[in-house]
Homo-oligomer: A and B are copies of this chain.
């Protein structure tokens, strides 16, 4: 059976990406990263989503943030709320420098030990157009690197980097996920959930998500604090 590595954050995009990989009959090794306390809820969500889709294995990797010094990540920065989305999304609160490069590098290592030929990543160039490492040309460059980086590649089995959501607006991602049975009630998008884990409904991420469900005329099954 063909194996794929799927980067799984617990959010809506990566859950839909996992659904695409399973729909293509891949045996999946899901890979999540924990790089701060904020992420405990997301890892729980990733676990539940991985279980839902019957992945072969779910690996959770701790990323050591001391390397990055006094990054915003370790500080307690307020999450912007209720601001106009047309100003463009800012760097999310969970920003890590060179994040996708680090994630894909680990995925490449796991692909090598798992004999996987495909790595799926839920990047999207529409809602996060300001991100260098969410663009198609970045993904193509990583695939080029991967073709030179591993023993498998040199022996004629290069790794493909699959980004099935890269060109989709959020409502089309949600539509795709609904079609593929993504348990959206389990996915977490909020940058600032309350202690019970309910989404705020007011940060950029919540608002983009809610607008997508609204466009489709479907309810968002996630738990929101004020609904």
Q: A51 an interface residue at 8 Å Cβ cutoff?
A: no
Question: What is the minimal beta-carbon distance from A33 to any residue of chain B, in angstroms?
Answer: 9
Question: What is the minimal beta-carbon distance from A70 to any residue of chain B, in angstroms?
Answer: 8
Question: What is the minimal beta-carbon distance from A138 to any residue of chain B, in angstroms?
Answer: 5
Q: A113 an interface residue at 8 Å Cβ cutoff?
A: yes
Known A-B contacts A109-B68, A112-B98; A141 and B132 likewise in contact (beta carbons under 8 Å): no
Known A-B contacts A68-B109, A110-B68; A154 and B132 likewise in contact (beta carbons under 8 Å): yes
Is the beta-carbon distance between A98 and B105 smaller than 8 angstroms? yes
CB-nearest residue of chain B relative to A154?
B132
Interfacial chain B residues near A114, Cβ < 8 Å? 69
A interface: dominant SS:
helix
Is the beta-carbon distance between A97 and B150 smaller than 8 angstroms? yes
A148 in complex: contacting residue of B63, B135, B147, CB < 8 Å: B135
Interfacial chain B residues near A96, Cβ < 8 Å? 109
Q: A210 an interface residue at 8 Å Cβ cutoff?
A: no
Chain A to chain B contacts (Cβ below 8 Å), 28 pairs: A60-B66, A61-B66, A62-B64, A67-B106, A68-B109, A69-B110, A69-B114, A97-B109, A98-B105, A98-B106, A98-B109, A99-B109, A101-B145, A102-B102, A102-B105, A132-B154, A133-B148, A133-B149, A133-B150, A138-B145, A138-B148, A138-B149, A141-B144, A141-B147, A141-B148, A141-B149, A144-B145, A145-B145
Apart from the given pairs A97-B110, A138-B149, 16 other A-B contacts in the complex at a CB distance below 8 Å: A31-B67, A59-B67, A61-B64, A64-B64, A67-B106, A68-B109, A98-B106, A101-B146, A102-B102, A102-B109, A105-B105, A141-B145, A141-B147, A141-B149, A144-B144, A144-B145
